[in-house]
Homo-oligomer: A and B are copies of this chain.
């Protein structure tokens, strides 16, 4: 799957992934009203509104981008009804030829990590049959449990030729509370980065490993150091746009081959119609506003890294 992701990035000349992280307040009033009319102001109504919103955006941008990254928390907040739309969104995007990165940040002791891996990138056995649960192509993983909490994910990557991105340095302001603490003369995130590079060695694709890393765009100096520590690791870069990361900061996350990183934007794209810059599209044309924002993002990043 890492080979396919690289291929799609090259084909579309777009090292970007769009985060499908809907809040109800992002959904145009007209879509909300329509959904509530049909299902009431219920969890089903909220789920329907979000589904129509996602579908509109995916239809408008799928030819421009290699991948999407739905954040499962935004669906989980609506309980089972929300997760039903998460699954529907995963399936719909795969049907459109997109690589799907489930942003789930799971991680636990070995047997429990195994169950998460099974449910998201693997198959579960029921009697003589087996089934994919959520069926994403990649997922994000939390490393706090150490290797035996990560290994079950790596094992399923190998079996299924799917992938993971392990949190190394997250994009949020307080990520340094623990991640930046000095350990044996270097920050913890560098130690985690070394481990990620090492864990990834046994599941190599053509040039990059099935085991990637998450490094926030908001810490470019750290991104530069981590790029060197993990030369064959694909880096998923959140934090561009709404969180403050700038295109000119992104160059160090990429390798000489122009590959090695994929930059995420969520709110900046899916809420484009609410921004001054794209207001001219109007709420009615929210999806077209997102399409223009994707084009602008790709240009912005390509011009900064090339």
Contact = CB atoms under 8 A, between A and B. Distances in A.
A243 to B, nearest CB: 8
Contacts of A188: 178, 181, 183, 188
Contact of A183 (B21, B133, B182): B182
A52 to B, nearest CB: 15
A12 to B, nearest CB: 27
A45 B127 CA distance: 10
What is the count of identical protomers in the complex?
Answer: 2
Nearest to A130: B41
Interface of A: 21, 23-24, 32, 36, 41-43, 45-46, 71, 73-74, 76-80, 82-84, 87, 105-110, 112-113, 115-116, 118-120, 124-129, 131-134, 142-149, 167, 170-179, 181-184, 188, 191-192, 195, 238, 243
15 contacts: A24-B126, A41-B128, A73-B115, A77-B118, A78-B119, A79-B87, A79-B131, A82-B119, A83-B83, A105-B106, A109-B172, A144-B170, A145-B174, A148-B172, A148-B173
